[in-house]
Amino acid sequence: MARASIPTKAAPRRRSFNSDRLWSLVVLLPSAVLLAIFVYGFILRSGYLSLTDWGNDPAQALSLTPVIKFTGLSNYSNLFGGLLDSRFRQDLVSTLFFTAFFIVACLGLGLGLAMLLDRNPKGEGLWRTIFLFPMSLSFIVTGTIWRWMLQPAGGVNALFGLDPDRHAWLTSNASIWRFDWNKLPLITAVVVALVLLGVASRARQSGNRTQMWVAIACAALLVLWAFTLGNSVKMTPVPEYHGFNLAFIGIIIAAVWQMSGYTMALYLAGLRGIPDELREAARVDGANEWGIYRHVIFPLLAPITLSAMIILGHISLKIFDLVYAMTSLNNLNTEVPALLMYITAFQGNQFAKGAAIGMVLLILVAAVIVPYLASQFRRSDRS
């Protein structure tokens, strides 16, 4: 589009360069300055605060002119390895489990509903309205409703005739898939090595032998490191076990109730965008319904799945209000880092530690979002 319009644009551009182009910059300036301060400036400031001791001494926390000392990475090393901060590590593990289940459930349910609606049932608009309406609610409203549903004497236990004493949905402290936090370097290295092996096999398919061997060598080195030196790295002084807290099941159900309509809308828009000719052609080639989905439709939906995973992933990594509304501030079994940050900074006045937790959250979310934004813009440049 840009290439075709260059000749026609050249004349007006010269004429308008001075005033009109200037106006467009003037218009953008306030927003750019505000976002530069409120996003990037504040992130830098949080980053600096996270390297200090502000509030670690309660006497300084509330003083009008606090004495703030630079302490380097001590807040971070405490969060990831200090004896007192195992609560943060559990929250971090919880949020990763929560994110994984939340994404898988939303994608599955959303795709299922979209496939049903794509078969043109009667009253399609009504069905769609029903599946989407929770999206318009606040997480606080959703949390309040589901808090009641999952109370010992609440709707779910009453519906299925469950014993309220044995089914403490939101307060259960049982956890599964526990692992020693000290094994984290080992686990990380093995996961990264597996990803590298995947890269290697793709390189082999595309005939890039150098890339294949480099990836294999890196994977081998990582595994070697993990089982020798890495295995003797001790993050915490004593073994420390973290796992998936079963109390999160209720929160996952509520979150899926609210957000699966979103994936349904995405998938439905995608399905409606697939031309009928493609299905017809596959049918003529002898594919059955399932074959059409597997070989024609699902591959075309892959980019939508990726978008949805990224949007849902960043929502769930920073989820705060839903958990707040469902289990309040004092339930350790369902705590997440976003909530811990609020408690640490705004209730405990430990601002430096709160800032450090905020930065960890930012890094998690950025790891998901930045590659996505970059790829989106590379694609829009090409078109």
Partner 1 sequence: MTTTATTPRPEVTAPRRPDLSRILVYLALLVAALFFLVPVYLLIVTALKTPDAIGLDTTWRLPSVWNWASFSEAWSKVSGGLRNSIILAISATALSALLGSLNGYALSKWKFRGADLLFALMLFGMFIPYQAVLIPLFQFIKSIGLYGSIGGLILAHVVYGLPITTLIFRNYYSEVPDALVEAALIDGAGFWGIYRRVIFPLSVPGFVVVVIWQFTQVWNEFLFGVTLANPSSQPITAALAQLSGGQAVSWNLPMAGAILTAIPTLLVYIVLGRYFVRGLLAGSVKG
Separation in Å, CA 365 to CA 189, 272, 348: 21, 31, 25
In angstroms, the CA 383 to CA 380 distance is: 5
Phi-psi region of 245 (alpha: psi -120 to 50; beta: other; left: phi over 0): beta
Residue 325 Cα to chain centre, angstroms: 20
What's the closest the beta carbon of residue 57 comes to partner 1, in angstroms?
A: 17
Which residue, 146 or 212, is less far from partner 1 as judged by CB? 146
In angstroms, the CA 82 to CA 76 distance is: 9
DSSP assignment letter at 52: B
Which residue, 9 or 234, is less far from partner 1 as judged by CB? 9
Amino acid at 137: L
Which residue, 8 or 228, is less far from partner 1 as judged by CB? 8
Which residue, 215 or 259, is less far from partner 1 as judged by CB? 259
Which residue, 97 or 131, is less far from partner 1 as judged by CB? 131
In angstroms, the CA 136 to CA 117 distance is: 20
Q: How many beta carbons lie within 10 A of that of residue 10, not counting itself?
A: 9
What's the closest the beta carbon of residue 47 comes to partner 1, in angstroms?
A: 9
Which residue, 164 or 237, is less far from partner 1 as judged by CB? 164
| C-alpha closest to that of 322 among 232, 253, 241, 244 | 253
